[in-house]
Structure 1
Amino acid sequence: MIKKILFLLIFCVFVNAQKIQIMASSFEKNNNLLFLNNNVVVISDNYFAKAKRAIYNEESKVLELFEDVFINSQNANSISDYARVDLANKSTEFKNVFLSDLILELWLKSNHSCYTNNVLKVDNSILSSCEVDNPIWSFKFSSGEYNQESKDLSIKNVIFRIKNIPVFYFPYLRINMDNTRKSGFLTPKIAFKSNEAIFYEQPYFWAISHRQDLEFRPQIRTNRGYGLFFNYRLIDSEYSSFNLSSGFFKERQAYVFKEDLKYDSHFGVNLVYASDKIFNNSQDNQEGLYLNYLYLNDIDYLNLSSFYNKTSDSVVTSRLNYFYYQNNNYYGAYVKYYQDLSKEDQKDTIQELPNIHYHHFLTKFFSTPFLYKADFNSTYYYRQNDYTLNRFNINLPIFFQKSLFNNYLNLLLKEEVELNYNLSSNHKNNDFLSNFTHSASLYTSLYSKYNNYLHNINFAFNLYFKNGHNDTINPFYLVEQNEKLNYYFEFSELLYKNQAKLFKHFLKFYTQDSKLKFIGNEMNIYFNKHFSIFNSTLFNTDEEKIQNFFLQGSYNRKDYSINAGYFFNKKKDILQSNYELDKFLSFGVNYDINLYNSIHANTWYNLKTKKLENYNLGFIHKRRCINFTIDVKESTSSKLTQKGVRSYKERGIYFSFNLYPIGGVKYNFTLQGNKDEYDYDF
C-alpha cells in the first residue's frame, strides 16, 4: 500500500511538470500505459475533471476518461460517456456529451464533439437555454462549430422546434454569442401585405472599426417597388459623434395610380452631429453643438424606411443649436428650418434663421436682498414669398425675497421689464412693444403632526399688474396685453398616515382682465395601498361651464391592476369659431396569470364617434430562456397624395419573440383600417 501511494505521488509530480495532476484510488502500469481506476481526478490550471476509469499514455501524452466523465473548464461544464484529452496538442474529444455554458446559460447535447485550437466542433446536436427535460425551444442540427475567441456559432441543417414540434428549417445559421460588434447579416424582415404583396428586407451590418459602422437595408415590395436605405455612424472623438442616414424607394406606376400618390419615388437624407467641445478648453465652462438636418421629398420616405417610426406629422423640422456656458452667463444660437410636406414648395413657410440668445442666471445684487436675471433674444423670421422680420426682445426681472414671522411666511416682490422691437423688411410692420409687470407673492409651507398622521399645507397668493405700449399687431406673432390688476391663488395639501399617502389636493384660481377666469382643481384619494381615485377639473367662470374634466380610478394588487376613467374636453377652435367637444372613456387592465404569463388591455372609447381609439390588447410570456408578446393595436401614418397629406390607421396583430441568448424576430399582422385590407408582416 505504501508503494502505491509513493508511486502516485511521484506520478503527480512528474505530470505536474506538464501542468496537470492525476489521482486515483488504484492503478496499474503496463509499459507506457497507466491504468487508473476508482475515483479518477484530474486537476490543472485550466480545468478539473473526474471519471470512473482512465488511461494515460506517457509517450503520446493522451489521457482517456471513461464512464460518468465530468469536466469543469473555466465557465463551462461537460458530462459525457467518454473523453479523450491530448495534452501535447491541447485538444479534447467527447462522445455522448452534455455541455453547459454558465455565462451564456446555454446547454448542448451532442453524439460526438471535438475541441481543438479554441474551436468546438459538434455533430448531431441539440442546443437550447431552457430546462433540459422537454425544453420550450431548441435547435436540432447535423453539425456545427463554435469559435471560443470570436464567439461565433455556425450550425448547419437546423430545425427550430417548439417543444418537440418542428417549426422552421434553416440550411445554415450563424449566431454571435457575445456583445461585441461583428459584420454580418442581421435578422431579415418578411411581410405579406394585401396592397404590397410580399415585402422582404435583409439588413447587413458592417463593423468598419471600433469607432464606426455602416448598416444597409435593401428592401423589395413586389407589388409596390424596391428601395435601399443605409445608416452610417461615427464616433470621431471622445466629445462628438456623427450619424448619416439616407435612402431611396422607387414606386411601380400601377401602385402610384392606384393610391393616387404625388411622387413615384421617395428619397431623403438625415444628418445628425453632436459635440460637447468645439472651442472650449476650460473645465469650468460648458458648450455644446447639435445639428439635426432632415430633408425628404415626401412623408412616405419616413414610413418606408425602418430606421424611423411611422408618423402622421406633415411638418419636418431641422435644427442647428449651439450654446456656451461661462460662470453666470449663457450664450446660444439656434436655427430652425421647417419643411411643410403638404405644400408644393416652402416659399411661404416661415423659417427661424437664426435665434440669438443671451441669458444671465439669477444673481444676488451685491450684498442686498435683491436678485436679478436677464434675457436677450434676437430672432430673424424669413420667408421667400413675403417680407421678413427681425425681432429683438429684452427681459429683465428684479426680485426681492423676505421671510416673515419666523420663516412661517415668505414675501416675493418682482419688477419685470420687457422690451420688444420688430423690424420688417417692408418697414410697414415695424412696431415697438414695452411691458412693465409688477407682482407680489406670499407663500408658505406648513407641517403638523397628529399621532400617526402628518398634514402638509402649501399656499401661494400672487398679484400682478402689467402695463405697456404696443404700436401695431404684427402677424408673425400675437402678444398678450393685459393692463388690469390680476391675481391667482394656489393651495395644496398632503395627508399621510404612518408614511402612507392618504390624500393629495391642489386648487388654483386665476383671473383675466381682473375677473376670475378659471378654477382648477386636482385631487387624489388613496383609500388604501391598492385603491385610489384621481380627479382633475377646470371650470370656466365666463361660460359657467366645465372646460375639461378627468376622473380615473385605479386598483393595484400584486398580480393585477385595473384602471378606468372618463375624460371630457371642450376646446374653442379659433379658426372655425365653434366649439369641439371630446368625450372619452378609458380602460386599462394588467393581469399576471402566473409567474410566466400576463395579459394587458388599454383602450379609449370616443363617446362622440362611438368608436374605440388607441386600443391595445396583448399577451406576454416571460421566462429565462424565451419571452414573446402578442399585441392587437392600431397606429397612424401618412401618405402624400395628389390631394395633399392623407392620414390612415393601421390596425392589427403584432407578434415578437426573443430566444435567450440567440435573439428574436418581430412579426406583424396588420389591417389598414381605412381600406379594410389585411397586411401580414413577419
Structure 2
Amino acid sequence: MLRVGFVILMMASFIFANDAEDKVEIYSTHMNSKDNIIKATGEVTVVYKDYFLSADEAVYDKNTSDLELFGNIRANQANDYKLLGDYAKLNIAKKERVFRPFYMLENSSQVWISADEGCTFDKDFEIYSGVMSGCNPNDPLWKLHFSSSTYNSDDMWLNVFNARIFIYDIPVFYTPYFGYSLDTKRRTGLLVPTFGISEAEGFYYEQPIYIAEQNWWDLELRPQVRTSRGYGAYSTFRFVDSAISKGELTTGYFKEQEGYFQSNKLANDTHYGYNFLYDNSDFINQWFDTKLKGQSGLYVDINHMNDVDYINLSTNDTIENVTSTQVLSKINLFYNNDTDYFGAYFKYYQDLTKVSNKETLQKIPTLQYHRYLDTLLDDHLIYNLDMQSNNIYREVGKHVTQTDINVPITLQATFFDEYLNASYKTFLYAQHSKFSGKEEVKSAEWEDGYYARNHHIFSLSTQLSRAYEDFTHVVGFGSSYKIAGGETKTGFYKDYQDFCSDPNNKDTTQCEFYNISDVEEELQLDFSQYIYDTTGKQILYHRLSQKVTYENVQNRLGELENELDYQITSNIKLYNNFLYNYDENKFSKLYNVLSYNTSSFNISLSHLYKDTFLQQTSTYSPYTSYLTSSASYTYNKHYSYHVRYNYDIERSIKKSAEIGFLYQKKCWNFGLKYLENNRPILTDNGSTSIYDRYIYLTIALKPMMSPDSGPLYEHKLPE
C-alpha cells in the first residue's frame, strides 16, 4: 500500500511538471485518468508555487489546463490570506482562478471578505456581491456590503464599489467608491474625512487627500467647508532631501462668507499663512564640500499669517491649537568643535494682536562666539569666553546693534578631604550699543556708547550623604557672596542708567533698549536635600534659597524661594514652588500641583498665583490666578473616561473644559466628548475672543481607521 501511494504521488507530480515554473503537484488518496481527464478524490492537496489548496475532490483536464476543485476548499498563499468555498476552477496556463462562494482572510490586517464569487487573474482579484469586516465573522459589529471589489495581492490595495456600511444591521453610510490599503505602505489616496455641525459655523466637512508618488516626498491636501462661515484649504508638503536633512511646508487659506464676517466684526474676510520647517545636521560639509571634523547644524522655522484665525481654522478642534498672541520665526545656524562654538540666529516676531508689525522689534541677526571651558593650574583655574552681537531692528523707529562680551574666570579648590568646596569667580562684562534709524519719540534720544564692569562671587558649599536601611539621605549647604567691582559707561548708558534702573520705568520708550541689570551686593544662602529609596528612585527633593542684600538697609531680605517635589506614596505626588516677599508680606508666586496616578485612575490639580506688586489699571492686572485640572479613568480594556477643566480665577473666565468617554473593541472604537474653549480672534476693534462649544463623535472602524496601523509618513532618500 505504501508503495502504491508513492507511485501515485510521483505520477501526479510528473504529469503536471511540463514547465518547472508552472509545476502543479496533486496529492490524494485515490486517483484515476481517462481521456486526458484526471480525477482525484479523498484528501486532495494541490501545490502550485506558493499556493496550497485542499478539497474533497479535484478534476484536471489536460486539454484545457483547467483544474476544478469541489467541496471544503481551502487555499493559502505565503501565509498571507486564506480562501474558502465549495467550488473552484483554476487555469494554470492562463493563471486564472474562480471561487464560488468566495471567502478571503488577510492575516496581517485580519480583514475578511465573503462574496458570491471571486475571480483572480495572476495577482489581481475581482470579487462580486460581498461583505467585508475586521470583526468576528460570526456576529460582526460593523460590516461593509459592496456590489463589486478589486484587489491586487502585490500592492495590497482594495477597491470597493457601491459600499454600504452597517453597524450591526443598521445602515449608516453609503459611498459609491471606497479604497483601502491592507498594509502600511505609503500610497496616493483619500484619508479619513472629518465632519461635524456647529450652530455658528454650520456643517463642517474636511476631506484630506494624500499624494505620495515617490519615496522621498508626500503631499497632504485638506480642503474644508463650513456651510455658514466659508471655505478653504490647508496643505502640507513633506520631503527628505538627503540622509541628514528633511523639511516640510504647510500653507493655508480660508475665505469668510460676508454674513459671518460682518456679524462677528472680524478684521479680515480672508485668513492665510504658511509655515516652513527644515533641519540639516551637517549643512557646511554637505553644501560647501568641506571635510570639517566639527559639527554643524541648520534649523529653520518660518511662520507667517495675517491673523490668529489662520491657526483656529487649521483644524476642527481648537483645543489642539496653540494660539499665542505672538508668532516667532527663526533660523539657527551653528558650527561646533571641541573648543569653539560659532552661531548665527535670526528671530522675527509677529504680534497677532496688531494689524501691522512695523514697530515690533526683531533680532536679525544675532551672532555668537563661545570659547568652551578651559583650565589652568591643575584644573584649579577655569575660564571661558562668550561674545554676542544682536542687531535689534524694526521698520519704523530707532534700532540698535548691541554687542556683549562676557568672560567668567573661576578659581576653585577643595578642603578637609573634599568636605568643603570653595571658589572665587570674577565676571568681566562689556556691552556696546550703536544706534541707527529715525527717532519717532522726541523725548527719547539715544547716543552710541559702551558699558563695562566686573563683579565678584565668593562661594562655599558642602554635600553630605548617608545610607539608612530603607533610604538614602543627601543634604547640601551652599553660600555665595556677590559684590560689584568697577564700572565705566558712556553715551546711552550714562544718560539713562539711573532712570532705567527704576522698575517702574522699564516699559518706557527711553528704556526699551536698556537691558543692564545692576549688580547688588548680596549674600545667597541655599539648602537642598534628597531622599532616595533602596532602588535609587527619588522620594523627596527639597530646596530653600534666600538672598540677603546690602544695598538697601531697610529691605535687606530678598524673596524666599521654596521648592518641594515629594512622592508621598507610590501613587500620590505633590509639587510646590513659592516665592515670599518680605517687603509686601505676601507671596509673589505660589504654584502647587497634586497628582494621583494608578494603572486605571489619574487625576491632577494645579494652581498658579502670581503678584507683580505693580499698580492695577483699567487694562492691566498685577495678579495671575489660574486653575487647571484633569482626570482620567480606565474602567476596563473597553471603557475609559476623561475630564478636564481650566479656569482663570482672576478674570473669572472659564478657559476650557472637556468631558468624554471612549469605548474600544478589537474591531472598532467609539468616542464621545463635549468641549468648551475660549479662543482668540482679531476683530476690527482689536484682539478679543470667542467662546466655542463642541460635541465630538468619533467612530473608528478597525483596521481601516486604526491610528496604530502603521506609519503614514515614512520617507526614503530620493533615488
TM (norm. structure 1) is: 0.89
Q: 1:437 aligns to what?
A: 455
Aligned-residue offset at 1:194: 2.5
1:417 aligns with 2:424: no
Conservation of the 8 A alpha-carbon contact between 1:495 and 1:504: no
Any unmatched runs of 5+ in structure 1? 666-682
Q: Cα distance, 1:419 vs. partner?
A: 0.7
Instruction: Give the deviation of 1:356 after TM superposition.
Output: 1.0
Aligned residue for 1:614?
656
* Counterpart position of 2:513: 476
Cα distance between partner residues in 1 of 2:74 and 2:391: 77
1:509 positional shift: 2.4
Contact 2:633–2:641 (CA under 8 A) maintained in structure 1: yes
SS in 2 for 1:263: coil
Aligned to 2:298: 289
Question: Counterparts of 1:158-307 in structure 2 under 5 Å?
Answer: 158-280=163-285, 281-282=290-291, 284-306=293-315
Q: Report SS of the residue matched to 2:260.
A: helix
Match of 1:350 among 342, 350, 361: 361
2:590 pairs with 1:589: no
Q: Does 1:493 align with 2:557?
A: no
Could you tell me how far apart the structure 1 residues matched to 2:645 and 2:579 are? 24
Q: What CA deviation, in whole Å up to 9, does each residue of 1:295-331 have, x standing for no partner?
A: 3333323333449964543433322222122332111
8 Å contact kept, 1:333–1:354: yes
Report if aligned partners of 1:598, 1:620 keep a CA contact under 8 Å in 2: yes
- The one-letter amino acid of 2:340's match is N
8 A contact 1:34–1:55 mirrored in 2: yes
Q: 2:219–2:235: 8 Å Cα contact kept in structure 1?
A: yes
- In structure 2, the partner of 1:360 is 371
* Structure 1 residue 53 corresponds to structure 2 residue 80: no
Against the structure 1 CA distance between its residues 525 and 284, is the aligned structure 2 distance closer, same or farther, given a 3 Å change threshold? same
2:564 is matched with 523
Whether 1:104 and 2:109 are equivalent positions in the alignment is: yes
Q: In the alignment, residue 345 of structure 1 is paired with which amino acid?
A: S
Q: Distance in 1 between matches of 2:298 and 2:636?
A: 50
After superposition, the Cα gap between the structure-2 partners of 1:394 and 1:607, relative to the gap in structure 1 and judged at 3 Å, is: closer
CA pair 247-88 structure 1, distance change in 2 beyond 3 A: same
Tell me how far apart the structure 2 counterparts of residues 436 and 120 of structure 1 sit (CA, whole Å).
81
CA 1:48–1:512: 2 relative to 1, 3 Å: farther
1:3-82 aligned within 5 A = 3-15=4-16, 17=20, 18-74=22-78, 75-82=80-87
Q: Number of paired residues? A: 665
1:546 to 581, 587, 593: 587
**1:633 CA displacement:** 2.6
Q: After alignment, is 558-567 or 379-388 more displaced?
A: 558-567
Listed one character per residue, the Cα deviations across residues 423-444 of structure 1 (whole Å, up to 9, x for unaligned) are 2237734342223232233344
CA separation of 1:405 and 1:114: change in aligned 2, threshold 3 A: farther
2:505 matched to which residue of 1? none
CA offset digits 1:328-354 (Å, max 9, x no partner): 211111222223343343332212222
Match of 2:284, SS?
Answer: coil
- Structure 1 counterpart of 2:267, which letter? K
Compute the displacement of 1:100 (Å): 1.3
Secondary structure at the aligned position of 2:90 is classed as: strand
Q: What residue number does 2:336 align with?
A: 325
Residue type at the aligned position of 1:12: S
Q: Does 1:642 align with 2:684?
A: yes
Residues 479 and 523, structure 2, Cα contact 8 Å, conserved in 1: no
SS of 2:101's equivalent in the other structure is: strand
Q: Measure, in 1, the Cα distance between the counterparts of 2:63 and 2:411.
A: 94
Corresponding position: 1:506 with 2:536: no
In the alignment, what sits opposite 2:475? 457
Change (3 A) 1:459 1:79: farther
Amino acid at match of 1:285: G
Question: Alpha carbons of 1:467 and 1:278: their partners in 2 closer, same or farther (altered >3 Å)?
Answer: same
Give, as a single letter, the amino acid of the residue that structure 1 aligns with 2:268.
Y
Say whether the 8 Å CA contact 1:206–1:214 is kept in structure 2.
Answer: yes
* 1-structure distance, mates of 2:621, 2:220: 49
Q: Which shifted more, 366-375 or 132-141?
A: 366-375
Task: Find the counterpart in structure 2 of residue 668 from structure 1.
Answer: none
1:129 equivalent in alignment to 2:134: yes
The letter for the 2-side match of 1:653 is I
Give the drift of 1:611.
Answer: 5.8
| C-alpha separation in 1, matches of 2:547 and 2:77 | 73
Q: 1:83 to 1:403 in 2, by over 3 A?
A: farther
Q: 1:467-523: CA deviations, max 9, x gaps?
A: 453523443133210231331313122142565654433332234556332222233
Superposed CA RMSD in Å reads: 3.0
Higher mean displacement: 536-545 or 265-274 = 265-274
* Cross-structure match for 2:714: none
Residue 557 of structure 1 corresponds to which residue in structure 2? 598
Change in 2 beyond 3 A, CA 1:407/1:120: farther
Q: How does 1:108-119 map to 2 (within 5 A)?
A: 108-119=113-124
Given residue 212 of structure 1, which amino acid in structure 2 is its aligned partner?
W
One-letter code aligned to 1:61: S
- The alpha-carbon deviation at position 565 of structure 1 amounts to 5.0
Distance 2:269 2:330 in 1: 28
**Letter paired with 2:366:** N
Q: Which moved more, 1:244-253 or 1:591-600?
A: 244-253
Check conservation: 2:573, 2:594, Cα contact below 8 A.
Answer: yes
Greater strand content: 1
Amino acid at match of 1:555: Y
SS at match of 1:109: strand
Cα distance, 1:400–1:408 mapped onto 2, change above 3 Å: same
1:369, 1:47 → 2: CA distance? 76
1:164–1:459 Cα change, 3 Å: farther
Q: 1:541 to 1:113 in 2, by over 3 A?
A: same
- Name the TM-score, length of structure 2 as normaliser: 0.84
Code of the aligned partner of 2:473: H
Alignment partners' CA distance in 1, 2:152 and 2:136: 24
Greater mean deviation of Cα atoms: 101-110 or 83-92? 83-92
Task: Give the Cα separation in 2 of the matches to 1:501 and 1:278.
Answer: 41
Distance 1:29 1:147 in 2: 36
Cα–Cα, structure 1 residues 372 and 627, in superposed 2: closer, same or farther, change >3 Å? farther
State the shift of 1:379 in Å: 0.9
Cα distance in 1, alignment partners of residues 325 and 185 from structure 2? 39
Aligned to 2:95: 90
Unaligned regions of 5+ residues in structure 2, if any? 440-444, 498-510, 708-719
Work out whether residues 482 and 513 of structure 1, in 8 Å CA contact, stay in contact via their aligned partners in 2.
no
8 A Cα contact 1:572 1:579, kept in partner: no
The 10-residue stretch of structure 1 (578-587 or 6-15) with the greater mean CA deviation from structure 2: 578-587
Deviation of residue 118 (structure 1)? 0.8
Structure 1 residue 114 displacement after superposition: 1.5
SS of corresponding position for 1:634: strand
Distance in 1 between the 2:351 and 2:323 partners?
12
Whether the 8 Å contact between 2:530 and 2:539 is mirrored in structure 1 is no
Aligned residue number for residue 671 of structure 1: none
Q: Deviations over 1:200-236 (max 9, x none)?
A: 4433333353333444344443433333443334433
Partner of 2:385: 374
Change in Cα spacing, 1:568 to 1:659, as seen in structure 2 (3 Å) is same
